Every structure is written in structure tokens, then in C-alpha cells.
Chain A
Amino acid sequence: MAAASSSDSDSCTAESEASSKWLDAHYDPVANIHTFSACMALADLHGDGEYKLVVGDLGPGGRQSHLKVLKGYSVLSDSPLPALPAAAATFLMDQHNPGTPVLALALGPCVYVYKNLTPYFKFSLPQLPLNTLEQDLWNQAKEDRIDPLTLKEMLESIREKAEVPLSVQSLRFLQLELSEMEAFVNQHKSKGIKRQTVITTMTTLKKNLADKDAVSCLVVGTENKELLVLDPEAFVILATMSLPSVPVFLEVSGQFNIEFRLAAACRNGNIYILRRDSKSPKYCIELNAQPVGLVRVHEVLVVGSTQDSLHGFTHKGKRLWTVQMPAAILTMNLLEQPSRGLQAVMAGLANREVRIYHNKALLNVIRTPDAVTSLCFGRYGHEDNTLIMTMRGGGLMIKILKRTAVFVEGVGEVGPPSAQGTRLNVPRKTRLYVDQTLREREAGTAMHRTFQTDLYLLRLRAARAYVQALESSLSPVSATAREPLKLHAVVQGLGPTFKLTLHLQNTSAARPILGLLVCFLYNEVLYALPRAFFKVPLLVPGLSYPLETFVESLSDKGSSDMIKVLVLREGQSAPLLSAHINMPVSEGLVTA
């Protein structure tokens, strides 16, 4: 297998082929495998010493799910599945037939067991207990002793209060319109109601012995927040444990009949740790984020969280360390190299890297052409240390760890950050600046004085202009106590006729203003207005009144002038406010 690697090694990893710890065995970007790490398993399914890869494939877009078995680079078998696989596990079922593990697939509420890759047994989760009241109600409905409306009311009250949730049938019924109820009851009353749950995760737990080829139990996590331990031979439930939330990932150590520890990462962001004698969680780790993977390395529980970090915890839930990742973690799995006694965590990241950590120390980084969504390490074919990765786009990549490769800690960033070496980007100063500096030193006082004088002159002129404006009410805003007004003028049109719109607004809080006049002052040679003087209607506070008038340009020389608008109070000669409107040149005449 290693020999064949050179032929289809990928270009993207070729750069560091020599220094890499990995041999590129196989890369198929269109293998069309979409799965999770939990649905991959490596096992010697036929007992012939050749390890195969079992993949519970969800299919593109989570549709046609398949069970794929790969041997070498080729697909050995590919069979459709009736539902999406949640987890796959291989384990030894009985002592009488050592060496050939069976395969268990969790699909919906069932576990399918395959022996020699042939369907062998199907285990269904037991029905959940029903609400007795609900059952009574449906029994009554069956005998037509209850009308649909009462049924609905009763069910509604059960739903709100009862501990045991309703069955799907009842929930559906509650959603119906009045008209549909009758038919629904008639159609379904004869059937009993059922409550069924779904398997969310599954793993194996050695039953009596810790040996590699000892019999294992199946541990199944369900949607109704329970963990079940199944006997491998008889498929009876050996133990039931309840959790506060739905389990997503499971990690088990120990033996069922002696002592075991179970860690369950749950949907509420917590990880619960249970032991053999406990029916409910003994310790709880609160992550503040969703766990994306759970791996046990020796005695340390390594958890990846949605906050892009890896955390290490003791089996009692004490936090040991935290490592920040450069990108979101997509999947995690265990890397175990028994020959060197190495256990490490592999994490597939969204930035197309697979990082391998031993505790806090980064051991290796593998760059991949696509984001890795599931990882699996172990014996494949005849090769002991094989890494199997599937990509987001459905690709499959197989790498083999070189036999000479030794992982050394401290590959990652040590010492001062690289940024410390870069020079500071200090802005440069020009020659001109330096010259000006020298000039300022020589003539600082004079510069200062000139500046101050000019500043005072400027202020003086501004003040004068302001006073003048105030005196002649030139400003468009009048701030007198009696007539707070605002004026704003707009000229529209190309000429020779323009439309002049004055927007007059009373800015006082409550008082309306009456008895205002508007007067236009203009050069009568240049412009003609229909009315140069008119009364303003009553001004209600806050509203803007548009006062329109037409202006005819009389000049044919393209000259323009200023029109002054004065707002006056009846009986007063001084204007309240005024506006100077610079009229545009009449384009109509210019072109004509």
C-alpha cells in the first residue's frame, strides 16, 4: 500500500513530502462519502487479517444513505440503508467466535447488527411508557364515548401539565382544524398510540475483560435523555441511566461488570460523567458552548467546543488546560499508536487543517485540500497506522504514518511571536518638515504673533458680519421670542420661468403665528414676479409651509441677479428675517 502511494500523491502536500511524517496513500476527491466520525469504523470483518473500513454514508445532502465497506482503495460493498445512520461500531459478540467482530449500525430507533457483513439481527428500542390519561382518552374515543372537541381539550390539558409527553398521534390531533378532527379520530382510533425514541449516539464498552479481543457491550444514547447498555449476546438491556439532556457524544472506559466511567457530551453544552453504580450523573462539566467532539486520551477527557478551543478535563470534571484553535473544529477523534504507546487527539478544522495534539502540545499539522469532516485512525488493510479522512465535498483521503516517524512536542509556536521581529512602521518626515521646524525655531515668536493677529482679525470680521446679519435680519432663522421662524428657499426650473418655493416654518412649541407678510425685492429689469408682496396664512407650529411663486427672467443676455425675500410683521418696517436667493442663469434663453 505504501509503495503505491507515490503515484497518486496530491500536489498540495507534495511540498513537504520528505519532511512529512505521513505517506500519501490515496486521495479521491469524488469518492462521494459524506459522513461523521461516529459513522466510521475499522475492523477485520471477515477474520482474514485484512482490516476494512466501514462507513455509514449519509449521502449527498443527507439523502440516499448507504453502508459502504472499503478494502484498499476500492469499495467492497455498497448497500442502501432504510434510514440515516447515527453511529457505527464494531465489537466482539461472543467468546466462541473470536477474531471476527460484528458491525452495529444505529438507524433511527433500531440497532442493526451485521455478521460477516450479512444482516444478522435487529434490535429496536423499547416503546416509551405512555401517559395513562392519554391512553384512556383514546380508548374512549375508540368506543365513541368522547367527542373530538372534548378529546382535544383533555389532551391539551395533559400536554401542559403532565410529566410524560404526549404521543405523536395526539400532538398531530391537537394541530388539526375542527372540521378535520372527526375524520382523524375515525381513521386512527382503532390503532393504539405509541411513543418511540431515536438513537443519537452509540459506542462500545468491554463487558468483563479489558483485553483487545474481549466481548463488548453496546452503549446507546437516546433522544429521550437515556443511556442504555445492551448485552452483546442476548440483546437485553443490562442497565439504564438517565441524563439531564440528550447525549451527543459518548466516551467510555473500564469494563461493565467491574467498573466503568461514562462521559456523555450533551446538547445543553454540558458533559456528564457517570460511573457504574450511579443511575444519574456524578460530575458535570459546564462548557458554556456546544461540544463538537469528545475523546479520552489516557485519563484525560479532551473536549472540543464551538468556541474554537480544546479543553482537557480530569475524569472528575476539573479543567486541566485549554488550547485555542485557529479555526472552528469540525470533528475530532483519537489517534492511538500502540507500538509507541502514543495517544493523541486529532481535530479537523474548518481552515483545512488537521491538528494533532498531545495534551496541550501540538504534535503535527496536516494540511488538506478540503475541510475534513470525519477522521479515523487505526489499522487498515495490513498497515497499522493509517489515517482516514473524509472531506466536506465528499472526498476521501488515506494517509499512512511513516514507520520511522516520531511525534515530538513543541512543533508549534514557541518563543516570542513572530511579529516581534518586524520593524515598526514609523511615519517618515520629509526634508521640508525639518526645514519648517528650523524656521519655527528661529521665528517662532513672529509666527505666533502673526497667527494671533490674524486669528483676532478673523474673529473680528466674523463678529462684525454676525452683528450685521442680526441687525438687518439677514439670517434665515429668526429667534425672537414672539416669532421664532425658519425660512428655506428652493429654486426649480431651467428658465426663463423659474419656480421659487419658500418653506416657512414656525419653530415655536405651541403658539401659532398670524399676520405675516412676504415681500420680494428684485431688479425689475431682470425679473418679473406675479406678486411681489403677499400675506402668509396662519402658521401652525412645527409644520413647514411651502409658498410658491413664479419668477420670469426678462434678460436675454444670460445675466442673473439676486432676489431678496423679506418676511415682515404687519405694521413693522424691520423685517423678521430675510433670505438672499442667487437666481440661476436662464438656460432657456441662452440656448435660444
Chain B
Amino acid sequence: MTSGRAAVGGAKMAEERLATRRTPLPSAKSQKPWLKKAAEFPILEKQNWLIHLHYIRKDYEACKAVIKEQLQETQGLCEYAIYVQALIFRLEGNIQESLELFQRCAILNPQCADNLKQVARSLFLLGKHKAASEVYTEAAKLDQKDWEICHNLGICYIYMKQFSKAQDQLHQALQLNRHVLTYIMLGKIHLLAGDLDKAIKVYKTAVEFSPENTELLTTLGLLYLQLGIHKKAFEHLGNALTYDPTNYKAILAAGSMMQTHGDFDVALTKYRVVACAVPESPPLWNNIGLCFFGKKKYVAAISCLKRANYLAPFDWKILYNLGLVHLTMQQYASAFHFLSAAITFQPKMGELYMLLAVTLTNLEDVENAKRVYAAAVRLDKCNPLVNLNYAILLYMQGERGAALAQCQEMEEKVRLLRDNSSLEFDSEMVEMAQKLRAALQVGEALVWTKQVEDPKSKHQTPSTSKAASFQQSLGSNQALGQAMSSAATHRKLPSDPAQGDSPGSQASGLGAKVCSRLTGIPGGYLLLISASNAVLCLA
């Protein structure tokens, strides 16, 4: 019977045997010897194919039933049944049980690298990275050409903070077989080490290898954004959005770029998609709030920012923006609270202190304002506004000498900025500074005029040392908070509600009455999900 492998002419031979009955098919006669054999020693792998088919269909209940039957029949010898049972355990979160079963598989078949790989994977998921790496090394001895072993070993090393070893393993994995996942991890190692250029290089090769991977495109876009290369950033983010128009990270990043260029309506339309997908995202509501701020819809801006603050109460950028909007709305008492909260979380930023000082000035607390200005000047390294505002306050208080000193410091900063980047200064700020100079009776400033004559250069963020995960637009100051240092103008304020919208014209209207107001508070902070935030989200 077993010699059914009949050679030539076997067809006829077989006919004799089987063709005696029509249906039911493989007749009872032919069935018997087969059954007898089965009763003695069933083939261990008899139903492996069925287990596998159920498993890949994610029909785990059926799968478990077959596994149970199979294990009973073979008295626990069927390696594949145990293997799949362990896989299911792992999917169900019983990692310890899965580990034990995989170890049993490894005992049943010690020559198989796959069993060891799974043991290591379970150890990895249990957080035992060192043990996992040891088992992976063991597996690598059995199978030298498996990229997965190298890749996972690399990830274990990342968790063990051995970055150079991790890099070696990941490079080896890439040599064996190129996978997007390996590129992503390699890029993350470079990001962890703070090496943006290398990370960009890795992601660039990865994008060439897999041009439709939205995660790669988005990450690369964000990295370019961090470096201030806006054109390339926009290109990659745009590509990501073409392949996946609902990509949260890409929309947020692209939207914030549009916002910096003043396309508030387009940005808002884009944000709608995110608002549906991730309605509880603090960066999203922050950016929406700033869109409304840019469109001068202040109440809506405050609503959105407050929601963002509710969702992320410890984010100082949101608090900063709230402070800024309240300042613009002349709600100084509220602005004070938001700004001081922001300072509690971020005590090392000059601009925050400056805003607080402006608020205090408006709250007629000159003493404290001066103190806060002093702190701001001490912390800030590159923003001439801080000095300008301080100088104006000092001048108003009649401290001409100190005002002059601040004025000179401001010029120093302006010179530095102008040399380092093609930044365009806010015209209003320039005007104000010139008025102050006139009042202080210093010679005509050359610093600004040169700058004004400059051809219209593109707005660019200053290349400060600050982490570029947020956008700082010094010159392109669409949203101007305003600060009053003159008591005279202050008294006028409530009667003129339009003031908040056009501080510039007001200032010029005052004419001879030396620069009574200061402007030029930096625009709000846009939030992105920065590339570095996403570090270490492993598969």
C-alpha cells in the first residue's frame, strides 16, 4: 500500500485497488491500513500546516484547539505546535509562558536558530536585554546569515546603551538584507548621539531604498526642519502626505511650516484632518490656537490654547503662547499667571522673562519689572528686543545712563545677528530703536539702516543653539504683543480698542512723544512632534 509510488503503468495498478467502489471515496478498505499506522505512531507534523493556516488567519481559538489535539496525540513532541502556542501566548501578553514554551522548543530541536531567536525575543519583551543579547549571539552562531538576529541584537545593544556595538550590528544587518526597520533604528542611534547629519544620511539612503515609506519621509522632513532647510523639509513632508494624507506627524509639521509663512487658512484645513484622527493632541491645539492668533481671532485662539494647556499642563511653550495672547488682549493679570507658570517650567529663557517684565510694566509694578528685565538680559544672548524693551523702561524711569548701556548691548547683538544670518528685523522694532536713540541723543544708528537697505531676504529662523524642535520667528512677527511703558499712553488705552491690532501705527502717531510703546514680542511657538521625541519606539 505504501508503495503507491507506482512506476510506469502505475495508473492501471492503482485502478485495480481503488476503482472498485465509486463514492464514498477512499474506501474503508484503503482507509484501514492508513489508520492502523496512525494509531501506532502518528506523524508528528501531521497537522502543522493546519495550525499554521489558522495562525496566519489570526483564528487563535481554532488554532489552540488543533494544537491541543496535536500535542495530545504526539505526547507533547510536536515542536511546531508548541512553537505556535508560544507565539499565541506572546500575542496575548503572556510573555513568561511563551518564553517557557520556546525554551521547550529549543530543547526539542537544539539545532534550530529560530527557536533561539524566539526565546531571545521573549526575553527582550520581558526587558531582560542582556539575557536576550546573549541568546541572540548564541543564535547567530547557528545562523550567520540572518539579518533579523543582527537587527535585534543591535536593538538590545541600544537598550543596553552600547551604541557603537549596536551600530556595528545594524550595519551588519543592512549588509545581509536591507530593511526599513534597520534604517530607522540606525537613524535613531545617531539622533540619540545628537548627530543630525549622520542621521539624515541614514534616512536619505533609507528613503532611496523605500521611497513610499511615510514614516521615513516624515522623519527626514522633520530633521531637515530642525536644521532649517525648509525647502527640503517641505518636499519630504509633502511626499509623505501624498502617500498617506492622514499622517499625523507630517500634517502637524507641514502645517506649522505653512503657519510660519502666514498661510493660516491652509494650515487650518490641514489640521482638521488631524483633529479627527487625534483629537487630544496638545501640539495640534496649540498650533490651531496660533493659527487663530495669526488671524487675529483672539478669543478662539485662547480657547484652543487653553484646551492644549488642559491636555498638556506642563508644556511651557503652550503657557508661553497663552501668556502672549493674553498680553495682546491686554489681559495683563492673566498673562502674568501664564508667564510665571511658564518660567517655573523653563527658567532659562530670556524671552520669557522679557514678556513677564512687559506684563509687569503694564501692571504698573516697575520695581519688579526692572528685576525681571535684569534676569532676562542676563539669560538672553541674541535677542536685541530684550535690551530694547529694557532700555525703554529705564529711559521712562529717567535712568538715562543705564538705558544707554542697554542700547549699546542691543546694538552689539544686532551686529552679531546681522553678521551671522540674513535675518530681517521687524521694521517696527527698528523704528522704535531709532526713536529711542534720538531721545537718548546718540548718533544715528548705522546698524539698522544697513539692514533695512538689504534686499528682501527670506525669513529664516536664527541659527541659534536652541533646539529647533520649535519655530522661532523673530523677524516675521505677525502677532505683536504690545507693551506700554509710558503712563501717558497707558491711560489712553481703554478708550482705543483698535490699538491692539495696530501698535505700529500708534507708535508713529505719537511722534515726538518718544517711543512710548514697545513691540516686537516674538511670535508664538509652534509645536511639532519632533523627530527626537520619537526616539526609541521599537517595533
Are A and B a genuine interacting pair, yes or no?
yes
Specify which of B25, B42, B43, B494 lies most central, judged by the most chain A CB atoms within 10 Å of its CB: B25
Contact in complex: B57, A200 (CB < 8 Å): no
Specify which of B2, B279, B300 lies most central, judged by the most chain A CB atoms within 10 Å of its CB: B2
| Any A CB within 8 A of the CB of B281 | no
**A121 touching B333 in the complex, CB below 8 Å, given contacts A168-B43, A321-B212, A445-B364:** no
In the bound complex, what is the Cα–Cα distance between A422 and B38 (angstroms)? 64
| Any B CB within 8 A of the CB of A288 | yes
| Any B CB within 8 A of the CB of A126 | yes
Q: Nearest-CB distance from A421 to chain B (Å)? A: 8
**A422 touching B56 in the complex, CB below 8 Å, given contacts A124-B4, A168-B44:** no
- Mark A417-428 against chain B: 1 for CB-CB distance below 8 A, else 0: 101111111111
Contact in complex: B5, A126 (CB < 8 Å): yes
Contact in complex: B44, A428 (CB < 8 Å): no
| Closest residue on chain A to residue B17 by CB atoms | A122
Contacts of A292 in B (CB 8 A): 56-57
Specify which of A81, A108, A373 lies most central, judged by the most chain B CB atoms within 10 Å of its CB: A108
| Any A CB within 8 A of the CB of B362 | yes
Contacts of B49 in A (CB 8 A): 86, 198-201, 223, 246, 248
Contact in complex: B336, A448 (CB < 8 Å): yes
In the bound complex, what is the Cα–Cα distance between A223 and B79 (angstroms)? 12
- Of A171, A267, A420, A427, the contact of B306 (CB 8 Å cutoff): A427
- Of A82, A419, A426, the contact of B34 (CB 8 Å cutoff): A82
- Mark A82-104 against chain B: 1 for CB-CB distance below 8 A, else 0: 11101000000000000000000
Contacts of A291 in B (CB 8 A): 56
| Any A CB within 8 A of the CB of B23 | yes
The stretch of B198-206, B270-278, B315-323, B475-483 that contacts the partner chain: B270-278
- Mark A164-186 against chain B: 1 for CB-CB distance below 8 A, else 0: 00001101100100000000000
**A424 touching B11 in the complex, CB below 8 Å, given contacts A328-B58, A416-B245:** no
| Closest residue on chain B to residue A265 by CB atoms | B56
- Of B6, B27, B43, B56, the contact of A108 (CB 8 Å cutoff): B43
In the bound complex, what is the Cα–Cα distance between A235 and B14 (angstroms)? 11
Q: Nearest-CB distance from A521 to chain B (Å)? A: 42
Contact in complex: A196, B147 (CB < 8 Å): no
Interface residues of A in 122-145 (CB under 8 A from B): 122-124, 126-127
Contacts of B269 in A (CB 8 A): 420
Contact in complex: B179, A286 (CB < 8 Å): yes
- Of B5, B21, B53, the contact of A36 (CB 8 Å cutoff): B53
Contact in complex: B56, A306 (CB < 8 Å): yes
- Of A120, A196, A321, the contact of B11 (CB 8 Å cutoff): A120
Interface residues of B in 166-213 (CB under 8 A from A): 177, 179, 181, 210, 212
Contact in complex: A119, B21 (CB < 8 Å): yes
| Any A CB within 8 A of the CB of B446 | no
Contact in complex: B272, A419 (CB < 8 Å): yes
The stretch of A336-344, A402-410, A436-444, A490-498 that contacts the partner chain: A436-444
- Of A119, A199, A321, A373, the contact of B26 (CB 8 Å cutoff): A119
| Any B CB within 8 A of the CB of A234 | yes
Contacts of A168 in B (CB 8 A): 41-44, 74, 77
| Any A CB within 8 A of the CB of B331 | yes
Contact in complex: A306, B26 (CB < 8 Å): no
| Any B CB within 8 A of the CB of A467 | no
| Any A CB within 8 A of the CB of B116 | no
Contacts of B6 in A (CB 8 A): 121, 235
Q: Nearest-CB distance from B106 to chain A (Å)? A: 12
The stretch of A109-117, A509-517, A581-589 that contacts the partner chain: A109-117
Contact in complex: B272, A424 (CB < 8 Å): yes
| Closest residue on chain B to residue A194 by CB atoms | B41
Specify which of A58, A119, A126, A171 lies most central, judged by the most chain B CB atoms within 10 Å of its CB: A119
**A444 touching B331 in the complex, CB below 8 Å, given contacts A119-B18, A119-B27, A306-B56:** yes
Contacts of A114 in B (CB 8 A): 25
Contacts of B5 in A (CB 8 A): 123-124, 126, 235-236
Contact in complex: A434, B299 (CB < 8 Å): yes
In the bound complex, what is the Cα–Cα distance between A394 and B324 (angstroms)? 65
Contact in complex: A290, B45 (CB < 8 Å): no
Contacts of A427 in B (CB 8 A): 303-304, 306-307
In the bound complex, what is the Cα–Cα distance between A110 and B277 (angstroms)? 53
Q: Nearest-CB distance from B408 to chain A (Å)? A: 32
Contact in complex: B45, A198 (CB < 8 Å): yes
Contacts of A160 in B (CB 8 A): 110
Contact in complex: B22, A118 (CB < 8 Å): yes
| Any B CB within 8 A of the CB of A472 | no
Specify which of B45, B76, B365 lies most central, judged by the most chain A CB atoms within 10 Å of its CB: B45
| Any B CB within 8 A of the CB of A204 | no
- Mark A446-475 against chain B: 1 for CB-CB distance below 8 A, else 0: 011101000000000000000000000000
- For B, the interface residue count at a CB cutoff of 8 angstroms equals 92
| Any A CB within 8 A of the CB of B89 | no
| Closest residue on chain A to residue B288 by CB atoms | A424
- Of B58, B65, B75, the contact of A175 (CB 8 Å cutoff): B75
Contacts of A110 in B (CB 8 A): 4, 34
In the bound complex, what is the Cα–Cα distance between A450 and B314 (angstroms)? 26
In the bound complex, what is the Cα–Cα distance between A433 and B114 (angstroms)? 65
| Any A CB within 8 A of the CB of B66 | yes
| Closest residue on chain A to residue B298 by CB atoms | A437
- Of B18, B23, B276, the contact of A117 (CB 8 Å cutoff): B23
Contact in complex: A420, B46 (CB < 8 Å): no
| Closest residue on chain B to residue A428 by CB atoms | B303
| Closest residue on chain A to residue B301 by CB atoms | A426
| Any B CB within 8 A of the CB of A32 | no
Contacts of A246 in B (CB 8 A): 48-49, 52
Contact in complex: A331, B18 (CB < 8 Å): no
In the bound complex, what is the Cα–Cα distance between A499 and B49 (angstroms)? 70
| Any B CB within 8 A of the CB of A530 | no
Contacts of A423 in B (CB 8 A): 272
Contacts of A127 in B (CB 8 A): 2
Contact in complex: B268, A197 (CB < 8 Å): no
**A61 touching B65 in the complex, CB below 8 Å, given contacts A119-B19, A233-B11, A424-B288:** yes
| Closest residue on chain A to residue B292 by CB atoms | A426
Contacts of B23 in A (CB 8 A): 77, 79, 117-118
| Any B CB within 8 A of the CB of A537 | no
Q: Nearest-CB distance from B151 to chain A (Å)? A: 10
Q: Nearest-CB distance from A55 to chain B (Å)? A: 13
| Any A CB within 8 A of the CB of B405 | no
Contact in complex: A445, B332 (CB < 8 Å): yes
Contacts of A223 in B (CB 8 A): 45, 48-49
Q: Nearest-CB distance from B74 to chain A (Å)? A: 8
Contacts of A429 in B (CB 8 A): 299, 302-303
Interface residues of B in 415-459 (CB under 8 A from A): none
Contacts of A112 in B (CB 8 A): 25-26
**A441 touching B330 in the complex, CB below 8 Å, given contacts A84-B50, A171-B44, A321-B212:** yes
| Closest residue on chain B to residue A38 by CB atoms | B53
| Closest residue on chain A to residue B31 by CB atoms | A82
Contacts of B210 in A (CB 8 A): 319
Contacts of B277 in A (CB 8 A): 419
Contact in complex: A169, B41 (CB < 8 Å): yes
| Any B CB within 8 A of the CB of A62 | yes
Contacts of B55 in A (CB 8 A): 290
Contacts of B56 in A (CB 8 A): 248, 290-292, 306
| Any A CB within 8 A of the CB of B334 | yes
Contact in complex: B24, A80 (CB < 8 Å): yes
8 smallest beta-carbon distances between A and B, as pairs: A79-B24, A419-B276, A121-B14, A119-B18, A200-B49, A124-B4, A427-B303, A168-B41
A-B residue pairs in contact (CB < 8 Å), sample of 24 = A36-B53, A108-B46, A112-B26, A113-B14, A119-B19, A119-B21, A120-B14, A122-B4, A160-B110, A198-B48, A198-B49, A200-B49, A246-B48, A248-B49, A248-B56, A286-B179, A328-B58, A392-B59, A419-B246, A422-B276, A425-B275, A440-B333, A448-B332, A448-B333
In the complex, given contacts A119-B26, A197-B43, A440-B333, what are 10 additional A-B residue pairs having Cβ atoms less than 8 angstroms apart?
A: A83-B34, A118-B22, A121-B18, A124-B4, A236-B5, A248-B56, A288-B181, A392-B59, A427-B307, A440-B334
